[in-house]
């Protein structure tokens, strides 16, 4: 017969939780004696039980929350530890060309990036994620965090640069900022692997040649390329949703066409020491991830015994008891305002 051992994983130190539980019980006992003494010598005998029930109810709620904070549970299931100790940096091109409509048909390149970033985050659940974007300047949109919902919000709200403000972008425009962030992460957690996923179309519109990117602290990742050789038109967000960016060099008002530059992307992949893959919207993310993690994750991969959490049952019980308290007071208030109660108080 298998023995199921109950274990605790408290979210706060034991002394703090113990003190909170003892304080709640002591306060309830003190309140109970005060109610009994106060109402025992007056005409309010009928109110004493109700007040006592409320005091006990509040104590039970606090005790249940303290027990929930202990995080009781027992072993069960399997937990994948592959990505529990990883820093993942997404470096995303947000220049105007990422609005080109040549991803998986007529989708925008940025839409493809958004889809892939969240798919990667799902596959690497438990890792810390950071989002760096670049157009004519680089910006940290999200520092390293395990908050996947924050990453989703950052990606959902990310838009290509307005062509009115575009001054030309370099494919390595985020290189220096990425280098600084990688160094800071390594200093804070020495030896912790860092994966870099660079997503862009490789189109360099800056007058200066792109500077090499430093892959010193990069343990794995990939350069993800978006777009086609035929290219695609870009909606002009500075005008309206139907107009397209015009090619100013043509002199004929033709729509501008942006094309992918895979040579630039392969060059960046070589500098970061990661593989390059062209993303068209038809390939599974799992195939790309197998190439993107050269040893960085495999050393710590595998399933380990999981844990079945029970704290939510205690928290749910506390919520139900706390929810009943306002209704109890409302009933008492209505009873106090009834004609019978007013007649009795005269």
Encode pLDDT of 36-50 as tens digits: 776 555 544 445 566
Strands 138-145 and 72-80: unpaired
Q: Residue 107: beta bridge partners?
A: 103
- Residue 333, classed as helix, strand or coil, is helix
Q: What is the pLDDT of residue 263?
A: 96
Sequence ranges of the domains in the chain = 6-76+306-345, 87-301
| CB-CB contact of 16 with 84 (8 Å) | no
Q: What is the pLDDT of residue 195?
A: 95
Beta sheet of 6-8, edge-to-edge order? 6-8, 72-80, 303-309
| CB-CB contact of 245 with 162 (8 Å) | no
State both tokens at 89. Answer: 């940096």
- Nearest-5° angle of CA 344, CA 345, CA 346? 95
- Nearest-5° angle of CA 112, CA 147, CA 12? 165
Q: What is the pLDDT of residue 75?
A: 63
Q: What is the pLDDT of residue 172?
A: 94
Q: What is the pLDDT of residue 259?
A: 95
Contacts of 117 (CB under 8 A, 6+ apart): 90, 92, 131, 151, 155, 197, 199
Q: What number of other Cβ atoms are within 10 A of residue 326's Cβ? A: 9
Radius of gyration of the chain (CA): 30
Q: What is the pLDDT of residue 298?
A: 45
Q: What number of other Cβ atoms are within 10 A of residue 267's Cβ? A: 19
Low-confidence ranges of the chain (pLDDT < 50): 1-2, 43-46, 79-81, 295-296, 298-304, 341
3-class secondary structure for 63-102? Answer: HHHHHHHCCEEEEEEEEECCCCCCEEEEEEECCHHHHECC
Q: What is the pLDDT of residue 44?
A: 45
Query: Residue 327's Cα: distance from chain center in Å?
Result: 37
Distance CA 122, CA 148 (A): 8
Q: What is the pLDDT of residue 85?
A: 83
At 107-162, the pLDDT tens digits run 999 999 999 999 999 989 889 999 999 998 999 999 999 999 999 999 999 999 98
CATH number of 87-301: 3.40.50.410
Mean pLDDT of the chain: 82
Predicted model pTM: 0.63
């Amino acid at each position: 017969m298998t023995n199921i051992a109950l274990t605790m994983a408290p979210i706060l130190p034991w002394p703090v939780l113990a003190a909170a539980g003892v304080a709640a019980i002591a306060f309830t006992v003190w309140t109970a004696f005060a109610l009994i003494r106060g109402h025992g010598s007056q005409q309010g005998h009928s109110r004493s039980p109700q007040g006592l029930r409320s005091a006990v109810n509040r104590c039970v709620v606090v005790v249940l929350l303290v027990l929930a904070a202990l995080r009781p549970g027992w072993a069960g299931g399997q937990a994948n530890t592959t990505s529990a100790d990883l820093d993942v940096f997404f470096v995303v091109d947000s220049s105007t060309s990422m609005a080109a409509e040549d991803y998986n048909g007529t989708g925008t390149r940025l839409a493809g990036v958004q889809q892939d970033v969240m798919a990667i985050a799902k596959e690497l659940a438990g890792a810390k994620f950071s989002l760096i974007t670049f157009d004519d300047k680089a910006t940290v949109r999200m520092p390293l965090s395990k908050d996947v919902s924050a990453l989703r919000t950052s990606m959902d709200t990310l838009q290509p640069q307005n062509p009115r403000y575009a001054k030309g972008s370099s494919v390595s425009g985020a290189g220096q900022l990425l280098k600084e962030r990688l160094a800071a992460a390594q200093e804070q957690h020495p030896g912790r692997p860092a994966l870099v996923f660079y997503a862009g179309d490789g189109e360099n519109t800056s007058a200066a040649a792109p500077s090499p990117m430093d892959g010193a602290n990069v343990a794995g990742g990939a350069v993800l390329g978006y777009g086609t050789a035929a290219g695609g038109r870009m909606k002009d967000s500075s005008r309206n949703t139907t107009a397209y960016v015009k090619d100013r060099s043509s002199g004929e008002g033709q729509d501008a066409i942006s094309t992918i530059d895979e040579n630039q992307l392969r060059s960046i992949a070589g500098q970061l020491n990661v593989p390059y893959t062209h993303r068209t919207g038809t390939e599974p993310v799992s195939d790309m991830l197998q190439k993107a993690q050269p040893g960085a994750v495999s050393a710590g991969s595998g399933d380990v015994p999981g844990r079945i959490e029970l704290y939510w049952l205690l928290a749910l019980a506390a919520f139900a008891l706390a929810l009943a308290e306002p209704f109890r007071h409302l009933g008492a208030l209505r009873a106090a305002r009834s004609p019978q109660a007013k007649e009795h108080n005269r």
